[in-house]
Structure 1
Amino acid sequence: MSYEQIMKDLKNKVYRPVYFLAGQEPYFIDRITEYIASHALPEEARSFNQMIVYGRDTSAHEIVDLARRFPMMSSHQVVIVKEAQDLPSLEAFEHYLNDPMKSTILVINYKYKTLSNRLKVYKALEKNGIYFESKKLYENSIPLWIENYLKSKGYSMNPGVGMLLTEHLGSDLNRIAGELDKLMIVLPKNENTVTAKHIEEYIGISKEYNNFELTSALARKDILKSNRIVKHFGNHPKNYSITLTLAAIYFFFSKSLVYHYLSNKSRDEAARVLGIHSFHMKDYEAAARNYSAEKLKQIISLLREYDVKSKGFIPVSAEDGDLLKELIYKILH
């Protein structure tokens, strides 16, 4: 079952006896758990009928004992198991999952791990509960996730905002959501569209000096702007990781090479194949005009070389800022 379907059922007060929430992305696990904790029971019933335990401090046998208790003056009880990945064994859950208490909502957080579908526990969950695997989103899908998150809160965003946030905050959805929540609190009431100016003013990410603007300048072979951005990066090394910058440039030029060989270069189709928003296609079109396929291959080779240098595998005396300036010169000339 998908995250969206689980949340839809929860909002319609359709609860299952067991939720086994596994996988690499903690954000969706946290949101499902928080919703159940806040809505499954009325507030006055939670002190007696809602328990939170931690995998490192308990055992599956003890959790089953809790789950088999009857609620006090309530139709249900909620048992939340956090850090269940630290439990020494899951075997004790097997019998319980084959016949779970209808008056208990058992929520098991099994972060950063998954269950094999060959296990009896997994098969029992399929019959009597919900097994949800929370998968990490690919970085190129984060901007769309940001757009949908804002939309769910009644906001929209200008093109480029999602990419700007992704480049600086990465794929940590909890961190991104936290920054967006803080932003929505401070935005004036009549402003429902998030802009790059808002991101700079309230989150502290420069709308002028960032990896998105750098790759855009490189695509157009704008030597002046490219050098100005790289100089700014070099002057503020704590704010700009060369590793992230090299990754952003590699991402852009590797996709530019793919674009070169597309038979259908219409914006919508090319954006679909490349896995990006169609708004960004203008940069890939510019790169195709300014760089031959052979030059793009040379650039990708250069990026691998400078990635190795920046990580110290090849001894160099240059600082990260100087390495970046050298690389940008070779890309543009």
Structure 2
Amino acid sequence: MSVDKILADWKKKSFKPVYWLEGDEDYYIDMLMQAAEHTILTDAESSFNLTVFYGREANWADVVNACMRYPMFAERQVVLLKEAQQMKDIDKLEGYIANPLSSTVFVIGHKEKKVDGRSKLAKLLKDRTELLQTKKMYDSQLPGWTEKLVASKGYQINQKALLLLVDHIGNDLNRIDNEINKLLLNLGERKSITEDDIEKYVGISKDFNVFELQDAIARKDLPKAIRIIQYFESNPKAAPIQMVLPALYNFFSKVFQVFGVQSRDEKMIASSLGVSPFFVKDYLAAAQRFEYPGIERILLLLHEYNLRSVGINDSGSSDAALMKEMVVKMM
């Protein structure tokens, strides 16, 4: 079952006795746990009929006893078990899950991992609960997801601002959502987020960031690349080399894949690479400037400098020195 389907059912006051939410993407688990806590019951009903447990402190018997109570002055009660992955003897919930009380809505959030599929509990969850399994989003999906999230809040975000935000935060949906909410509070009457807003309210320089470094290398603009690296050297938290190298590798590996696509149609290339058509022009331009041997050499250099950044075959060069040397060799 999907997140949207569960939320739609709850809005229609249609509830199942047990919901098991598991996986390594916390964002959707947190969203449903919050909705269960604040929307299933009215404020008056919550006083008597909402019970919240946390896995680290929870005793399985207390959880089951809470689930077995009948609601007071309401049609149903809600029992939440948060951070269930930290609960000891969680398999002892099997008895209740097999025969739940229809007047209780029991919602379990099991983050970071899934229950062992070979276990009795896993088979029971599949047969007797509404089971939601989440997984981390691919990095290539983040820009599209973020753009839709902004749109769902009634706003727009331009492409440069979108890339700055996603490149800076990475694959952390909760943090992306929080930063967007912070941005929207500061927009006033405006309905569009720009790169200036990202710089001012998120703290990312619109001129000195990984995206601009990537663009400088792709355009063979060595002076600009060196200026950006010097900025990173003066502001170590802005873009540590451990963040820069994977971002560059992601870009140039996509450029490398362009050579394997027979068509030069941008939509066809975007589909083959699994990226937004917005990026394709940059990939094609870089492929034309460097050609196949140049892109292959860039990927090998990124591998070499990744090893050197962790001390392999390097006597302790600074991050800035490594990056300057690397971009010179690339160009």
How does the TM-score come out when normalised to structure 2? 0.95
Note the C-alpha offset of 1:91.
2.7
Distance in 1 between the 2:102 and 2:321 partners? Answer: 65
> Greater CA deviation, 309-318 or 70-79?
309-318
- How far residue 284 of structure 1 moved from its aligned partner, in angstroms, is 0.5
Cα RMSD, aligned residues only: 1.5
Match of 1:149 in 2: 149
Tell me, yes or no, if structure 1 residue 183 matches structure 2 residue 183.
yes
Contact 2:204 2:238 in 1 (8 A): no
Pair 1:283 & 2:274 matched: no
Instruction: Give, in angstroms, the shift of residue 96 of structure 1.
Output: 1.6
Alpha-carbon separation, structure 1, partners of 2:129 and 2:215: 48
Q: CA deviation at 1:287?
A: 0.7
Q: What's the CA shift for 1:256?
A: 0.7
Structure 2 contact 252–295 (Cα < 8 Å) conserved: yes
Q: Could you tell me how far 1:84 is from its partner in structure 2?
A: 0.8
Mapped contact 1:55–1:81 kept (Cα < 8 A): yes
The amino acid of 1:290's aligned partner reads R
Task: Give the partner amino acid of 2:166.
Answer: T
Work out whether residues 97 and 121 of structure 1, in 8 Å CA contact, stay in contact via their aligned partners in 2: no
1:320 aligned residue: 319
- Separation in 2, partners of 1:91, 1:232: 53
Deviation at 1:106, TM superposition (A): 0.6
Q: SS of the residue aligned with 1:56?
A: coil
TM-score (norm 1): 0.95
Q: Which residue of 2 is the match for residue 73 of structure 1?
A: 73
1:169 aligns with 2:169: yes
> What does the per-residue CA deviation read over 1:249-281, in whole Å, with 9 as the maximum and x for residues that have no partner?
111111111111211231112112222221111
Question: SS of the residue aligned with 1:292?
Answer: helix
Q: CA deviation at 1:176?
A: 1.0
- In structure 1, the partner of 2:55 is 55
Once residues 113 and 179 of structure 2 are traced to their aligned partners in structure 1, the CA distance between those partners, rounded to angstroms, is 27
- Provide the residue aligned with 1:299 in structure 2: 298
Aligned to 1:242: 241
Instruction: Give the superposition deviation at 1:181.
Output: 0.4
Which residues in structure 2 correspond to 1:211-250 (within 5 Å)?
211-250=210-249
Structure 1 unaligned spans of 5+: none
After TM superposition, give the deviation of residue 31 of structure 1 in Å: 0.4
Residue 108 of structure 1 deviates from its aligned partner by: 0.7
Find the aligned partners of 1:128 and 1:42 in 2 and give their Cα distance. Answer: 27
Which one-letter code corresponds to 1:8 in the other structure?
A
Structure 1 residue 17, shift from structure 2 partner? 1.1
Is the 8 Å Cα contact of residues 225 and 327 (structure 2) preserved in structure 1? yes
CA contact (8 A) 1:143 1:162 kept: yes
Whether contact under 8 Å (2:209, 2:238) holds in the other structure is no
Q: Deviations over 1:188-217 (max 9, x none)?
A: 22x111111111121111111111111122
State how far apart, in whole Å, the 2-side matches of 1:265 and 1:46 are: 59
Shift of 1:117: 3.8
What are the residue-to-residue correspondences of 1:109-120 with 2, within 5 Å? 109-120=109-120
Tell me the SS of whatever aligns to 2:296: helix
8 A Cα contact 2:287 2:295, kept in partner: no
Give the match's secondary structure for 1:110: strand
Bigger drift between 69-78 and 108-117 goes to: 108-117
- Gap regions ≥5 residues in structure 2: none
Say if 1:100 and 1:128, in contact at 8 Å, map to a contact too: no
Query: Which residue of structure 1 aligns with residue 37 of structure 2?
Result: 37
